[in-house]
């Protein structure tokens, strides 16, 4: 098979062979390349065979069989040959396939190709509608919470928002750090000079009411303030209203349960994080997340669960929607606010928990190369919670799974909600209070 020259050609070539029997020349050479996202691996040498397993992210929705063995093929090699294989684990990939090797006494190796059943690359949870949304102080049916197509926010991204979690705890439903989130919500609006006609107390009450009205035990809460209709100019008129909504809905693990346990695979994005010289990055504003869409979208299209952005100086910033930590020699490092990161509330909680556990936490600029030689890496955020990273740019981090310090911090964090970690900081706000 002629080697494709581009990623698109790669996909076309795969389709032309329909991937089955993977290649008629399996005992010889198999080539999947054409971009940095595809790896050429070769079965060579009549006596010793090397098999390097790499992810293949394809767009075959209908052509890949559902049977785990439908595409199994055995390499026809001399039975006396030794086999050397790279250690690997079976992993599921979104919209793609799993390659898995296993020893065989009668031949060099067995190669199994099957449809992925779980998504690591795009395990972000889909929103589940609730019954009601708090809108400008009133509870309205979910389907009735609409805005005009000429709303300023729709045209220019002029909005600020928060993401907040409510957990089911032994003491009932509790919202994690509600006061800190709403304070940041108001600060975000202040930085953009968006006037809010509601008080902090009213927004906090709206968050609690959104939980109780929708009869939710655990939920993701989304307060959003946005400029409504009334001005088409980029700079809105002073009389343009600022509408506020609060939605609460069921929301599972953002990057997947498997990711929480075993870690996710990330890449360094080609897109840099927006700097504070261009935008007030401490504001959690809607328009900022166009940058996040580019970072996260690029990663998932290339088979990764998340993308890591860098600053204009080339130092590490954060994920598309998460703060980042690395562990080296027992110390925890995280980029400072000057690295164009959001001042994450979960980030702050993890730093506090880490120091409570007597870990050294150092805020400093992190050069990109430190990612690859870190002992551990993990991401934090309201949606992501505390998610370990097992590889960066296809380079294994540490042991290639969740590290001991990450696990300790996960246990401390989730312990806040199951009662095993004492809430010394009054972070849990009771919904029933």
The burial class, CB within 10 Å (0-12 / 13-18 / 19+), for 38 is: buried
Q: Name residue 331's beta-bridge partners.
A: 328
> What is the residue whose two structure tokens read 């993990």?
378
Angstrom distance (rounded) from CA 80 to CA 107: 8
Domain identity same for 294 and 220: no
Which of 62, 82, 87, 284 does the annotation list as catalytic? 284
Domain identity same for 277 and 400: yes
Instruction: For residue range 339-364, list pLDDT tens digits in order.
Output: 999 999 999 999 999 999 999 999 99
Q: Which two tokens stand for residue 55?
A: 């992810």
Inside any domain, residue 265: yes
Angstrom distance (rounded) from CA 378 to CA 119: 19
Contacts of 358 (CB under 8 A, 6+ apart): none
Inside any domain, residue 123: no
Q: How many domains does the chain have?
A: 3
Angstrom distance (rounded) from CA 244 to CA 135: 6
Strand 172-176 relative to strand 164-169, pairing: antiparallel
pLDDT tens per residue, the chain (433 residues)? 343 333 333 333 333 333 333 333 344 343 333 333 333 334 344 333 333 333 333 333 333 333 333 232 222 333 333 333 333 333 333 333 333 333 333 333 333 333 333 334 444 556 689 999 999 999 999 999 999 999 999 999 999 999 999 999 999 999 999 999 999 999 999 999 999 999 999 999 999 999 999 999 999 999 999 999 988 899 998 889 999 999 999 987 788 788 898 999 999 999 999 999 999 999 999 999 999 999 999 999 999 999 999 999 999 999 999 999 999 999 999 999 999 999 999 999 999 999 999 999 999 999 999 999 999 999 999 999 999 999 999 999 999 999 999 999 999 999 999 999 999 999 999 998 6
Residue 284 annotated in active site: yes
Domain identity same for 180 and 295: no
pLDDT score of 432: 86
Cβ atoms of residues 291 and 274 within 8 Å = yes
pLDDT score of 186: 98
Q: Which domain holds residue 262?
A: 257-418
Angstrom distance (rounded) from CA 223 to CA 264: 28
Angstrom distance (rounded) from CA 220 to CA 232: 32
Cβ atoms of residues 311 and 347 within 8 Å = no
Inside any domain, residue 424: no
Domain identity same for 238 and 282: no
Angstrom distance (rounded) from CA 364 to CA 315: 10
In 3D space, the residue among 124, 62, 123, 119 whose CA is nearest the CA of residue 93 turns out to be 119
Angstrom distance (rounded) from CA 178 to CA 181: 5
Angstrom distance (rounded) from CA 169 to CA 430: 10
pLDDT score of 433: 62
DSSP state of 375: S
Domain CATH for 162: 3.30.470.10
Residue after which a domain boundary falls, among 217, 252, 287: 252
What number of other Cβ atoms are within 10 A of residue 165's Cβ?
Answer: 20
What number of other Cβ atoms are within 10 A of residue 98's Cβ?
Answer: 19
Inside any domain, residue 425: no
Angstrom distance (rounded) from CA 232 to CA 191: 21
Q: Which two tokens stand for residue 212?
A: 């109780």
What number of other Cβ atoms are within 10 A of residue 79's Cβ?
Answer: 9
pLDDT score of 409: 98
What number of other Cβ atoms are within 10 A of residue 41's Cβ?
Answer: 18
Strand 41-42 relative to strand 29-30, pairing: antiparallel
Inside any domain, residue 261: yes
Domain identity same for 243 and 108: no
Instruction: For residue range 290-321, list pLDDT tens digits in order.
Output: 999 999 999 999 999 999 999 999 999 999 99
Domain identity same for 238 and 262: no
In 3D space, the residue among 43, 46, 39 whose CA is nearest the CA of residue 23 turns out to be 43
pLDDT score of 258: 86
Residue after which a domain boundary falls, among 252, 280, 300: 252
Q: Which two tokens stand for residue 201?
A: 């107390």
Domain identity same for 71 and 185: no
Inside any domain, residue 124: no
């Amino acid at each position: 098979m002629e080697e494709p020259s581009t990623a698109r050609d790669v996909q076309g070539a795969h389709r032309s062979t329909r991937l089955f029997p993977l290649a008629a020349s399996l005992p010889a050479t198999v080539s999947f390349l054409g971009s940095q996202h595809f790896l050429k691996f070769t079965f060579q040498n009549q006596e010793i065979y090397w098999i390097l397993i790499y992810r293949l992210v394809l767009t075959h929705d209908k052509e890949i069989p559902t049977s785990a063995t439908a595409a199994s093929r055995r390499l026809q090699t001399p039975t006396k040959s030794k086999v050397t294989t790279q250690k690997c684990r079976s992993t599921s990939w979104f919209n793609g396939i799993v390659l898995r090797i296993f020893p065989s006494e009668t031949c060099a190796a067995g190669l199994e190709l099957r449809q992925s059943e779980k998504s690591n690359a795009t395990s972000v949870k889909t929103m589940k509608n609730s019954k009601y949304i708090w809108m400008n102080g009133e509870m309205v049916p979910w389907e009735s919470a609409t805005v005009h197509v000429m709303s300023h926010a729709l045209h220019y991204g002029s909005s600020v928002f928060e993401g907040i979690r409510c957990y089911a705890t032994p003491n009932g439903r509790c919202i994690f750090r509600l006061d800190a989130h709403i304070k940041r919500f108001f600060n975000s609006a202040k930085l953009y000079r968006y006037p809010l006609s509601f008080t902090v107390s009213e927004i906090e009450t709206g968050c609690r009411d959104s939980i109780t009205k929708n009869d939710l035990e655990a939920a993701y809460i989304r307060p959003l303030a946005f400029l409504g209709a009334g001005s088409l100019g980029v700079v809105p008129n002073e009389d343009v209203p600022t509408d506020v909504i609060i939605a609460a809905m069921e929301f599972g693990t953002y990057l997947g349960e498997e990711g929480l346990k075993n870690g996710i695979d990330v890449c360094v994005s080609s897109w840099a994080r927006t700097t504070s010289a261009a935008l007030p990055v401490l504001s959690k504003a809607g328009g900022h997340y166009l940058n996040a869409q580019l970072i996260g979208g690029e990663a998932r299209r290339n088979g990764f669960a998340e993308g890591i952005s860098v600053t204009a100086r080339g130092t590490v910033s954060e994920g598309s929607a998460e703060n980042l930590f690395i562990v080296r020699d027992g110390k925890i490092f995280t980029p400072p606010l000057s690295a164009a990161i959001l001042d994450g509330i979960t980030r702050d909680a993890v730093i506090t928990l880490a120091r409570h556990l007597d870990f050294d936490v150092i805020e400093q600029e992190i050069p990109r190369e430190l990612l690859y030689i870190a002992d551990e890496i993990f991401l934090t955020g309201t949606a992501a919670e505390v998610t370990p990273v097992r590889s960066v740019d296809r380079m294994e981090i540490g042991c290639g799974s969740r590290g001991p310090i990450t696990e300790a911090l996960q246990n401390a964090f989730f312990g806040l909600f199951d009662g095993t970690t004492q809430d010394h900081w009054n972070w849990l706000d009771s919904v029933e209070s």
